[in-house]
Amino acid sequence: MPSTKTRPASRRRRDSSADSDASTDSAEDKAGEDAASANGAAEEHDDSAPSNGKPAGPKRRTTAHEMATRQRDISVSEFFAKNRHLLGFDNPRKALLTTIKEAVDNSLDACEEAGILPEIWVRIEPTADNRFRAAVQDNGPGIVKKQIPLIFGKLLYGSKFHRLRMSRGQQGIGISAAGMYGVLTTGQPIKIVSRISKGKPAHYYEIKIDTKINQPEILNGRGEGVDIPPGAKGQAEFDRHGIVWVEADHGTRVTIELEAIYKRGRGSVDEYLEQTAIANPHVTIHYTDPEGNESTYARSAEELPVEPKEIKPHPYGIELGNLITMLSDTKESTVTAFLTQGFSRVSHTVARKVCEGAKVSPRARPATIGRQEADSLFKAIQETKILPPATDCLSPIGEPLLLKGLYHVVPAEFYTAATRPPAVYRGNPFQIEVALAYGGAATTQKVPLELLTELLRESDARTLRQFLINTFAGLGSEAADAILKEADQGTRSSPKGLKPKEIQKLHEAMRSTSLESSQTMNVLRYANRVPLQFQPGACAITQTIMGTNWRSYGLTQSRGSLPSGPITVLVHMASVWVPFTSESKEAVAAYPEIEKEIRLALQTVGRKLGMYLNRRLKVRQEGDRRNIFLRYLREVATAVSTINQSDRDKLYEQLLLVAKRKTAQADVKLDKHGKPIEAPEEDLGEHVIIVDPTQMADALRGGSPPQETMDAVLTDARRTLVKSKETLREITERRQLADEQTASAKHSRGTSDLKNRNKN
Amino acid sequence: MAKKKRSRSESSSGTPAAVLTPRDKKTINTLITLADEIVEAADKKKDPHLDIPARTLTNVKYNNTARIIEMGKGTNRRQLFNLTQAKAYMQTLLVAEGTKRLLDQGKTTSIRGLYYLLKHTIEGTKEETFDDQADCDPIIEDLEVTLTTLREELHVYASNRGAMVGPLTLTDSGDEIDCSRMGSGGYSIPSIVEADVIQFGSHRAEFILHVEKDTVWRRFNEDKFWRKHNCILIHGGGQPPRGVRRLLSRMHNELTYRGQKLPVFCLLDNDPWGYYIYSVLKQGSINLAYESKRMAIPDARYIGLRSKDFEECKLTPSVQIRLNEQDIKRAKQIAGYPWFAKKKEWQREIKQMLDNGFKLEVESLISKDISYVTETYVPERLKAQDWLGD
């Protein structure tokens, strides 16, 4: 046996050295070796038979030729049909969310690109057990007839992959994958209605994706689709197809029937829509849930976000392989032209410098550039100083709108937001925005009894504790335990078996238990305005929040975990290319540049929170002081009147007066010479909203259903909008200043960087 | 402990209007003055305050001629409108009110009784006026020093501690007591031993022996040391309470042997706490410096245990107790007290203990023989006049 093994091996070595005599490149060598080993295997079979008559070792099961017959192309759609978890279809519950999410994201992208204020209709209706019909309609520009099948019936088809432009969708997989999932689980085709302009008929398609060839298959109208006329006649036809078309001049409606499970709480469609409303205050969403309840997130901003610009790739972000492909694909006739036309921030001077560094003639034809030269070009690019990419291609939400969005949806007493200046990772511009809401009632305190009953019924959690933690965002295990203790429920009792009385008790416990200290921070993550609802642990955003020291801002935090308190933090990353950790777009990859920007943004809002908490603490202490005096005054007055029979009430009143005067005095700070100084209120800066918590609490205590009350409180004019408007000039000035300081303090750590900014 | 009824207020027990002694009247007047000052301050819209003489080492001074500790003039101001003092201020007035009620009704109570009398939940809160007795006791002392009255004048007493036997008769609240016929337990010393409660009868004692604690006292009583040596045998259960100190002082000053005041000898442990007990008996305590005049016995003598006794009595090393850090700190502190600082013998004594690195309890003498302390140690030291005094 050893002999047969060594012989082909030695030959192989000889063969490979003969094959690749000119090349010493390791990659090629490896390729050669692979090929040789395949040869070797075949030859081994050939000459082992004659050399010894008996078969040595196990019998061969198949031959290379036989195997070759089975080797063939794998279609993308086949691959993803098998690996649907990569796209967010791991379980029926998530499948529903992903479907809605992909459709809504596409709609929003389309509306914004066309310059239309988006209005979205989302409708989920149950059709059978664990089957739902999910439909999303927008008021977008519509899709031309011939493109419809390709967009919805072909994986990796789209307008967004090949350009560098900030958009929600990136890959062109999402919606077609959702349609594929629907076909796979229910056999029902994906139904698309799209109208381009008023009075024109709407195109109606029923499409299946042919997974073998990754091509759409049109089922209706003999493979041509159907045109549905506008007006009543059209409506009747829609009804016949089971489509609820909201009459509109233009727009697209996607209907997918799929196997799914509908559940509220964390990671639900409801949560997605709510979070989308936060980050997209210019969007109106109408939502009909499977039980027929209709709700609307009305837009709070009437302006579309600034249109993001498409940019060319930045040389620093390119990889060698990409460079080679681009070189062979380009239509330019010289390398200099290729560099200046193909990349951003490359001027003629820069291009010449790159060529000099790579020892490549600037007038060389790109197609003739060999691998070696490409390699030196690549190295030269890295060594040449090139301006960072233009960052005006990004369209951040902006502090005022972030505040608006958060304020609209998350009830709290303190809001602040910060948008970082744009930065660059791997040649891709990106921008981090953070908004923070502190205080207010916890989610557990605003759940109406009926909803709680329903949630309990729907839950598949095994224990009540698990139910509480999973259902309510920001509820830690400690808080859950406190609630259960208050409700006299064991932590391990099942959420299903609760009697109405017990549910009522649980509801009361949830409302009465103060969770201020046992709540953990609720983190809302966004990438290009799309909420990220899964895999928080794998996400750079969560990791950076955990790695930030929140203790210095007056919060409690154990090492390496999220801080606790009634606090919601929203982090938005806007970029032309968001580095997701997987195709299902659930977590942002941890590039050091991204983490640094997140940290700096968190520190900015954290500092403001710290100042607010400090101020609140001071006010509370002053109140405490007065309280302490008042508490003892009656005792003192009683004691004195017992001793000398003086008038107790008179003495009490007099002492009360003194107390008021004394505490007022104590509140005044004195300077060195004993003169009172005007204590300057620490300036919280711009982009801060403070809501008077007492009024909020009063409103909450009222008997009306909490959601309504919250709305009432929010629409009420009781809010104090401190400062949230600023002129464009101020923004630019501030950013420039920040930029300079970041540059000057590059070597100092983040905190000192911030301190410097603070001084200015 | 049951409430003790003072003999003079028997006639009016239970009714608020008790017959007041002149001393009670004086005390009540000081209390009323205190309350009036507060009303006055409130009238003028000023914040009321109390000036409480400071009971700290820095506010006591050693009077070289009287050889006692006297209280200085330093006071601490306690204000109602000061966050940290508000509660203490309120408590002080509660104590004043409580004692006023006791005086009015002609009753006395223990400090624990007073604590319960005043403890209640403050209206509209969940806060208690006093959380435990430790909250209340220092406030009582504060009031005593503020009003320059005595605890007993405020009709408050501490629990009984300490016992006494000896060839002495006395009258306690009208009852004749023969201290030579007290069995094994001895006469329990009350907290108030003023002349209106206790009057001395006849005695045959030649000196007073004060031992630190009950266990040693029992040894002496069982061996009938006091009968053999004609002395009054007394203990204070560790740091002697006021009753014991006042009684010692009264016996020392009022009883005589051959025309001389009865000498007082102290048998205490050889450790910083023993030294301090002696110091308190001799020149008064820092805490109750204002009562030193009535309690201190500047002539008291320290017969043991001494730092030299380990060698002199040939004790075994197993009876040694190592000095811990706290002991060493306390010993140095005591050596620095002005009333010890200039006494070479005491400096030598304390230094030797520190050098030894161990302390000795009186009971360690039992390792020689059960009755070594009564039959050998004390008699020999007395005979040799081997003690530490001034």
A149 and A290 in a single domain? The answer is yes
CA distances to A618, A746, B135 from A156, rounded to whole Å, are 58, 41, 78
Whether B36 and chain A come into contact, CB under 8 Å, resolves to: yes
**How much is the pLDDT for A172?**
64
**How much is the pLDDT for A383?**
86
A346 and A260 in a single domain? The answer is no
Mean pLDDT, residues B115-142: 85
**How much is the pLDDT for A6?**
43
pLDDT above 70 for B252: yes
* A655·B42 Cβ contact <8 A: yes
A19 and A37 in a single domain? The answer is yes
High-pLDDT (> 90) share of chain B, %? 39
**How much is the pLDDT for A300?**
82
Tens digit of each residue's pLDDT (9 = 90 or more) over A600-610: 999 999 999 98
In a domain, A131, yes or no: yes
Mean pLDDT, residues A704-714: 35
pLDDT above 90 for A136: yes
Whether B147 and chain A come into contact, CB under 8 Å, resolves to: no
pLDDT above 50 for A22: no
> Range with the lowest mean pLDDT among A34-38, A270-274, A464-468, B100-104?
A34-38
A275 and A152 in a single domain? The answer is yes
Residue B368 buriedness (CB in 10 A; 0-12 / 13-18 / 19+): middle
**Chain B contacts of A661, Cβ < 8 Å?**
45
A139 and A90 in a single domain? The answer is yes
Residue pairs spanning A and B at CB distance below 8 A: 81
Between A165 and B38, name the one with better pLDDT.
B38
Among candidates B377, B371, B365, B380, which has minimal Cα distance to B315? B365
Mean pLDDT, residues A290-313: 84
CA distances to B6, B49, B306, B320 from B311, rounded to whole Å, are 52, 57, 10, 12
Chain B residues 46-65 with a CB less than 8 Å from chain A: 46-48
**How much is the pLDDT for A41?**
44
* A640·B38 Cβ contact <8 A: yes
Can you give the CATH number for the domain in which A172 is found?
A: 3.30.565.10
Mean pLDDT, residues B200-226: 92
In a domain, A520, yes or no: no
Alpha carbon A40 to its chain's center: 51
Among candidates A419, A459, A384, which has minimal Cα distance to A605? A419
Structure tokens at A139: 């008021």
- The CATH class given to the B163-384 domain equals alpha beta
A333 and A458 in a single domain? The answer is no
Whether B119 and chain A come into contact, CB under 8 Å, resolves to: no
A178 and A268 in a single domain? The answer is yes
CATH 3.40.1360.10 domain residues, chain B? 163-384
Among candidates B209, B76, B198, B96, which has minimal Cα distance to B144? B96
Whether B80 and chain A come into contact, CB under 8 Å, resolves to: yes
**How much is the pLDDT for A39?**
46
Question: Is A278 within 8 Å of A176 (Cβ atoms)?
Answer: no
Mean pLDDT, residues A474-487: 76
CA distances to A104, A205, A221, B207 from A194, rounded to whole Å, are 15, 9, 15, 119
Among candidates B336, B356, B355, which has minimal Cα distance to B346? B336
Tens digit of each residue's pLDDT (9 = 90 or more) over B11-66: 434 444 567 778 888 889 999 998 998 888 888 888 888 888 888 888 888 888 88
Q: Residue A377: which domain range?
A: 315-383
Within B296-324, where are the H helices? 309-312
In a domain, A519, yes or no: no
The partner residue sitting opposite A643, judged by closest CB among B32, B43, B86, is: B32
Min Cα separation B179/chain A (Å): 42
A115 and A259 in a single domain? The answer is yes
DSSP letters spanning A276-322 = HHHH-TT-EEEEE-TT--EEEE--S--SPPPPPPPBPPPGGG--HHH
In a domain, A398, yes or no: no
In a domain, A106, yes or no: yes
pLDDT above 80 for A2: no
* A636·B81 Cβ contact <8 A: no
**How much is the pLDDT for A666?**
52
Between A641 and B12, name the one with better pLDDT.
A641
High-pLDDT (> 70) share of chain B, %? 95
Question: Nearest-5° angle of CA B305, CA B310, CA B311?
Answer: 130
Mean pLDDT, residues B306-327: 90
Tens digit of each residue's pLDDT (9 = 90 or more) over A40-73: 444 444 444 444 555 567 788 888 888 888 887 7
A84 and A208 in a single domain? The answer is yes
Judged by DSSP in three states, A687 sits in coil
Average pLDDT taken over every residue of chain A:
76
> Range with the lowest mean pLDDT among A258-262, A567-571, B46-50?
B46-50
Residues sharing a CB contact under 8 Å with residue A295, sequence separation 6 or more, in sequence order: A286, A287, A289
Best mutation target, A632, A638, A665, to test chain B (most B CBs within 10 A): A632
Among candidates A382, A393, A391, which has minimal Cα distance to A424? A391
| Total domains, chain A | 5
The partner residue sitting opposite A654, judged by closest CB among B43, B94, B129, is: B43
pLDDT above 60 for A716: no
**How much is the pLDDT for B251?**
94
Min Cα separation B363/chain A (Å): 50
pLDDT above 70 for A703: no
Residue ending a domain, choose from A361, A383, A405: A383
CA distances to A169, A565, A566, A667, A670 from A618, rounded to whole Å, are 47, 19, 19, 10, 16
A139 and A249 in a single domain? The answer is yes
Query: CA nearest A632 in B: which residue?
Result: B90
Tens digit of each residue's pLDDT (9 = 90 or more) over A167-205: 787 666 778 888 888 888 888 889 999 998 888 888 898
> HEC profile for A490-513?
CCCCCCCCCCHHHHHHHHHHHHHC
* A640·B93 Cβ contact <8 A: yes
C-alpha atoms less than 13 angstroms from C-alpha of A441 in its C-beta half-sphere: 23
pLDDT above 50 for A121: yes
Strand ranges, E, within A331-461:
414-419, 423-425, 428-438
Tens digit of each residue's pLDDT (9 = 90 or more) over A538-552: 899 999 999 999 988
Question: Is B267 within 8 Å of B211 (Cβ atoms)?
Answer: yes
For A156: left if phi > 0, alpha if psi spans -120 to 50, otherwise beta; the answer is: left
Residues sharing a CB contact under 8 Å with residue A71, sequence separation 6 or more, in sequence order: none
Among candidates A366, A304, A369, which has minimal Cα distance to A339? A366
* B42·A634 Cβ contact <8 A: no
CATH 1.10.10.10 domain residues, chain B? 7-157
Judged by DSSP in three states, B200 sits in strand
Best mutation target, B31, B92, B93, B128, to test chain A (most A CBs within 10 A): B93
Between A117 and A13, name the one with better pLDDT.
A117
A379 and A454 in a single domain? The answer is no
**How much is the pLDDT for A594?**
92
Alpha carbon A563 to its chain's center: 20
Mean pLDDT, residues A637-643: 89
- Most confident region among A113-127, A514-528, A731-745 by mean pLDDT: A113-127
Residues sharing a CB contact under 8 Å with residue A572, sequence separation 6 or more, in sequence order: A279, A396, A397, A402, A432, A433, A434, A435, A526, A527, A529
Average pLDDT taken over every residue of chain B:
86
Best mutation target, A621, A627, A643, A655, to test chain B (most B CBs within 10 A): A643
In a domain, A527, yes or no: no
Residues of B assigned a catalytic role: 116
In a domain, A604, yes or no: no
Long-range contacts of A559-562 (CB under 8 A, 24+ apart): A561/A520, A562/A520, A562/A521, A562/A523
Query: CA nearest B100 in A: which residue?
Result: A643
pLDDT above 60 for B4: no
A166 and A239 in a single domain? The answer is yes
**Chain A contacts of B47, Cβ < 8 Å?**
658, 662
Is the C-alpha dihedral spanning B157, B160, B163, B167 positive or negative?
positive
> HEC profile for B218-254?
HHHHHCCHHHHHCEEEEECCCCCCHHHHHHHHHHHHH
In a domain, A238, yes or no: yes
User: B7-157: which CATH topology?
Assistant: Arc Repressor Mutant, subunit A (1.10.10)
**How much is the pLDDT for A678?**
47
Residue A672 buriedness (CB in 10 A; 0-12 / 13-18 / 19+): exposed
C-alpha–C-alpha distance, residues A555 and A608, integer Å: 12
Question: Is A571 within 8 Å of A545 (Cβ atoms)?
Answer: yes
- Expressed in angstroms, the distance from the first to the final Cα of chain A is 80
Between B85 and A165, name the one with better pLDDT.
B85
Whether B96 and chain A come into contact, CB under 8 Å, resolves to: yes
Within A330-398, where are the H helices? 335-342, 348-358, 371-383
pLDDT above 50 for A17: no
Mean pLDDT, residues A362-391: 84
Mean pLDDT, residues A321-340: 85
Tens digit of each residue's pLDDT (9 = 90 or more) over B223-246: 999 999 999 999 998 889 888 999
**How much is the pLDDT for A453?**
83
